């Protein structure tokens, strides 16, 4: 019994030992499994850490860049301020050297250019031909809108002029559908160039030309004489070298000038006092139409010649082909060297002009009827024809072939509603509005 018990006990012990060993083995297996997993976790954690380190490295490197860029910006700003001061200094010197001679200036002459280098060359050659002998009185500028390299190169190749460049890349927002961005850019360019000449360069008058114009031999004498007139008579808003009805068949006398309520444009002279006013409210686009609004005139007029002192050869660009052939190509460019200094222009002064003009209108023979143009050519002297309204005017204008267009209630070239042009030689035709005679006191 005792032995059996012992044997049983040993057997149990053996089983227990076996079980213990088994447990140990399992434990070991589990442990090593865990250890493996742990190793993987540690490894991946290490990997994460190194990634984080890399990121941190990158961030600090970027911060380094930022600091360097900030440093650079500071330096650039400083350089910019220095350059700006230098430019201001130079401009100041430029202005002083220009204003030192300002007594001798009649007007600055500016050619508005954009991207037509060949046109600009033709214009410049025409202007320099007559400007060179009077260059001191008429400092010459070319103002380019944009950065066409050929125009810039062309302009810079002339030593006789100062080159201005307007580069404005800010976007244009047209106000109505179908409008061309070009008209907005042109208006901006005009404002910029005129501000530059009147305010930076301190000129008291500026003559504005475009890059597709030729000028007459007496162009500069004409503007010198009318500058004096403009100085004396503040009711003259600007002087133009252009007559809209200046085609060969409608002009005769190169000595005659007129006042007009219609802004003729195309080769015109403006004084600083007028620019002070216009600059403030300059329109975003269509500046010439805007300048034809009567509210902008405040009762003032423009001076225009009978025979044009500028010729517009630009068939391309903003002038349409058909328009060019009908109205611009047949323009008579004056070829007579008029001695404007010796001319008495006092008849153009506000206080005299109305009576002067009334007198010539009054002495013209009144004619009427549907075949006015035919009658006018048979009468053989000055005639006047009344029109009832705009459409009646257009009908008569069409018979003669003059401009039909009106702007803000005023026909082109009109003075107090009267449009005058020559017909078959020296005879004048006056198209007289419904209120014209009353306004002229006839």
| Smallest distance from ligand NAG to CB 417, Å | 36
Residue number with CB closer to ligand NAG (195 or 289): 195
What angle do helix axes 219-232 and 117-131 make, rounded to 10 degrees? 80
Smaller CB separation from ligand NAG, 115 or 200: 200
CB of 88 to ligand NAG, least distance (A): 13
Report the alpha-carbon distance of residue 149 to residue 137 in Å, rounded.
Answer: 30
Q: Which residues bind ligand NAG (CB under 6 A)?
A: 95, 99, 102, 202, 204
Active site residue 288: yes
For 113, phi then psi, to 5°, come to -125, 165
Distance between CA atoms of residues 351 and 380, nearest Å: 31
Listed in order, strand segments (DSSP E) in 94-197 are 108-113, 140-145, 161-166
Catalytic residue among 195, 288, 289, 408: 288
* Minimum CB distance to ligand NAG smaller for 272 or for 375: 272
Three-state DSSP state, 432? strand
Question: What are the two backbone dihedrals, phi and then psi, of residue 383, each rounded to the nearest 5 degrees?
Answer: -130, 155
Query: Shortest Cβ distance from residue 231 to ligand NAG (Å)?
Result: 11
User: CA 266 to CA 142: how far, in whole Å?
Assistant: 16
Tell me how far, at minimum, the Cβ of 198 lies from ligand NAG, in Å: 9
Q: How many CB atoms are closer than 10 A to CB 278?
A: 19
Considering the complex, state which of residue 71 and residue 276 has its C-beta at the smaller distance from ligand NAG. Answer: 276
Query: How far apart, in whole angstroms, are the C-alpha atoms of residue 364 and residue 382?
Result: 5
Q: Which of 332, 328, 335 is nearest to 212 (CA)?
A: 328
Q: Are 109 and 209 in contact (CB under 8 A)?
A: yes
Q: Which residue is nearest to ligand NAG (CB)?
A: 202
Which residues touch 134 (CB under 8 Å, ≥6 apart)? Answer: 220
Closer of 74 and 96 to ligand NAG (Cβ): 96
Report, in Å, the least distance between residue 240 CB and ligand NAG. 23
For the sheet with 268-271, list strands across it.
161-166, 140-145, 108-113, 205-210, 268-271, 236-240, 301-305, 257-260
Least spacing, CB of residue 85 vs ligand NAG, in Å: 18
Query: What span, in angstroms and rounded, lies between the C-alpha atoms of 56 and 62?
Result: 10
Rounded to a whole number of angstroms, the minimum distance from the CB of residue 81 to ligand NAG is 23
Which residue, 199 or 406, has its beta carbon nearer to ligand NAG? 199
Distance between CA atoms of residues 105 and 116, nearest Å: 29
Q: Which is nearer to ligand NAG, 199 or 324 (CB)?
A: 199
- Supply the residues annotated as catalytic: 288
């Amino acid at each position: 019994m005792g032995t059996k018990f012992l044997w049983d006990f040993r057997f149990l012990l053996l089983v227990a030992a076996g079980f213990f060993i088994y447990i140990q083995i399992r434990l070991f297996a589990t442990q090593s499994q865990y250890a493996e997993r742990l190793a993987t976790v540690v490894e991946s954690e290490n990997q994460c850490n190194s990634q984080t380190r890399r990121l941190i490295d990158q961030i600090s490197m970027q911060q380094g860049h930022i600091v360097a860029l900030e440093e650079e910006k500071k330096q650039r700003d400083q350089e910019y301020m220095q350059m700006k001061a230098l430019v201001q200094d130079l401009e100041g010197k430029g202005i002083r050297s220009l204003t030192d001679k300002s007594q001798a200036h009649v007007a600055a002459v500016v050619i508005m250019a954009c991207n037509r280098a060949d046109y600009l060359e033709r214009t410049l050659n025409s202007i320099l031909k007559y400007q060179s002998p009077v260059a001191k009185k008429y400092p010459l500028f070319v103002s380019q809108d944009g950065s066409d390299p050929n125009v810039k190169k062309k302009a810079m190749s002339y030593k006789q002029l100062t080159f201005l460049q307007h580069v404005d890349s800010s976007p244009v927002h047209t106000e109505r559908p179908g409008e061309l961005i070009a008209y907005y850019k042109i208006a901006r360019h005009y404002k910029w160039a005129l501000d530059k000449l009147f305010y930076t360069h301190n000129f008291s008058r500026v003559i504005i030309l475009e890059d597709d114009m030729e000028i007459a031999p007496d162009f500069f004498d004409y503007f010198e004489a009318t500058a004096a007139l403009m100085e004396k008579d503040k009711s003259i808003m600007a002087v133009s070298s252009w007559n809209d009805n200046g085609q060969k068949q409608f002009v005769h006398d190169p000595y005659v000038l007129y006042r007009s309520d219609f802004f003729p444009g195309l080769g015109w002279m403006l004084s600083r006092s007028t620019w002070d006013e216009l600059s403030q409210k300059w329109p975003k686009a269509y500046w010439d139409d805007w300048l034809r609004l009567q509210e902008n005139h405040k009762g003032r007029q423009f001076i225009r010649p009978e025979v044009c002192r500028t010729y517009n050869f630009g068939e391309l660009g903003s002038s349409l082909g058909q328009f060019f052939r009908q109205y611009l190509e047949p323009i008579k460019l004056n070829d007579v060297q008029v001695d404007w200094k010796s001319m008495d222009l006092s008849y153009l002064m506000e206080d005299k002009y109305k009576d002067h003009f009334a007198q010539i209108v009054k002495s013209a023979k009144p004619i009427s009827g549907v075949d006015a143009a035919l009658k006018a050519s048979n009468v053989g002297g000055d005639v006047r024809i009344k029109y009832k309204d705009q459409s009646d005017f257009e009908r008569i204008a069409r018979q003669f072939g003059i401009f039909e267009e009106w702007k803000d209630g005023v026909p082109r070239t009109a003075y107090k509603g009267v449009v005058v042009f020559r017909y078959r030689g020296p005879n004048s035709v006056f198209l007289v509005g419904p209120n014209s005679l009353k306004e002229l006191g006839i």
